[in-house]
């Protein structure tokens, strides 16, 4: 047991009710955020289907690959947002083929406890050129579909992209 910790307390004196965060009497404000994004796929008939991924550098300097996504703006549907965010973050213009799924998670930022819901869609590339012009993106790359699971940083996104080949076959 830590010094100053009573047998019936989980926190040192003065920290009870703070969730261990050291701010007595202050609870984190809960915020709900909804975003959308997508897996945009191109197939030139020669190299096979490939997807545009974005790379962002984290606080530790690691390049983490993920699907493009962003906040839904007023008046947009999740599908509209997916098309817009894919274009802004990769330079590729896409059209929605099918829903891929929804990822739901929690994180803490700026004194808030954020509940985030992200709607993901499968998109077919119909134009544009790969570009990392978005300031939030460090790098962009075309990645063969069979290599996505090895490249994506987040397990929930890896699970979503496994559905892409079947959805593409169904839409052909």
d(CA 65, CA 44): 23
Of residues 5 and 38, which shows the higher confidence score? 38
Is 10 part of any domain?
no
Residue 161 C-alpha from the chain's centroid: 12
* Per-residue pLDDT, 148: 97
Q: By C-alpha distance, which of 108, 100, 105, 101 is closest to 117?
A: 105
**Could you tell me the pTM of the whole model?**
0.81
d(CA 21, CA 84): 38
Is 76 part of any domain?
yes
User: pLDDT confidence of 25, banded at 50, 70, 90?
Assistant: low
Is 22 part of any domain?
no
Q: By C-alpha distance, which of 21, 66, 37 is closest to 156?
A: 66
* Per-residue pLDDT, 135: 85
Is 67 part of any domain?
yes
The CATH number of whichever domain residue 161 belongs to comes to: 3.90.79.10
Helix (H) or strand (E) holding 64: strand 63-66
User: pLDDT confidence of 24, banded at 50, 70, 90?
Assistant: low
List beta partners, residue 29: 112
Count of positions (residues) in the chain: 172
Q: Which domain holds residue 91?
A: 29-171
Reduced DSSP (H G I as helix, E B as strand, rest coil) percent helix, strand, coil of the chain, to 5: 20, 40, 40
**Counted domains in the chain:** 1
């Amino acid at each position: 047991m830590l010094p100053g910790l009573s047998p019936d307390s989980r926190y040192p004196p003065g920290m009870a009710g703070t969730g261990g965060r050291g701010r007595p009497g202050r609870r984190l404000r809960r915020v709900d955020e909804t975003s959308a994004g997508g897996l945009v796929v191109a197939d030139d008939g020669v190299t096979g289907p490939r997807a545009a991924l974005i790379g962002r550098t984290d606080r530790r300097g690691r390049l983490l690959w993920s699907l493009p996504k962003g906040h839904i703006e007023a008046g947009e549907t999740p599908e509209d947002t997916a098309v817009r965010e894919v274009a802004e973050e990769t330079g590729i213009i896409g059209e929605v083929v099918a829903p891929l799924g929804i990822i739901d998670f929690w994180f803490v930022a700026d004194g808030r406890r954020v509940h985030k819901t992200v709607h993901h869609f499968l998109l077919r590339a119909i134009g544009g050129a790969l570009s990392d012009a978005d300031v939030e993106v460090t790098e962009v790359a075309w990645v063969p579909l069979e290599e996505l699971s090895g490249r994506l940083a987040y397990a929930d996104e890896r699970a979503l992209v496994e559905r892409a080949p079947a959805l593409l076959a169904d839409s052909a």
